[in-house]
Amino acid sequence: SRLTRIYIYIYIYVCLYVCTSPYTYSYLLLCLGNLDKGLTEDDIAIIFSQYGEPVDINLVRDKETGQSKGFCFLAYEDQRSTILAVDNFNGFKLLNRPLLVDHVLNYKCPKKCVKEDVMLLLTYIFIIIIYFYLFIFIYLFLFIYFYLFFFFLAIFKLTFFIYFV
């Protein structure tokens, strides 16, 4: 049906929007390698906030154990921060391990992130559609109610006028 096609188009648009982040095509994203497996996202954010505000950190973990694989992706809000981080942290020893820091040009969103974001956006779209139909229903109900009210009022006035005049 037409409504199903609309939902499919919305789903495709949302998927494209979520996977096309602003730092996939620029130098705003870094790949950090040779990390200690005990580091968390918060530790990485604190360390790398020296040269700018990290806006996204994706610490890659093992699916079964949940333990860090020793590398992550970090996004800054501006290009200057990424350049400073690469220049200063590449080769820097962190917990007796030399860090590997470099720019990333092609970054694919993690599937878990995409699925959650798509479901959240689809939920919001569904709620908006429900409110829209509810608004239309209430509007039509009030329109019909007032239309019938004035229609019967006009008939009453007409019969009253004919009967008493």
DSSP string, 21-71: -TTSSSTTEEEEES--TT--HHHHHHHHGGGS-EEEEEEEE-TTT--EEEE
Q: What is the pLDDT of residue 136?
A: 86
pLDDT for 50: 93
Low-confidence ranges of the chain (pLDDT < 70): 1-27, 106-118, 158, 160-165
- Domain 22-108 indexed as CATH 3.40.50.720: no
pLDDT at 12: 57
N- to C-terminal Cα distance for the chain? 58
Q: What is the pLDDT of residue 160?
A: 66
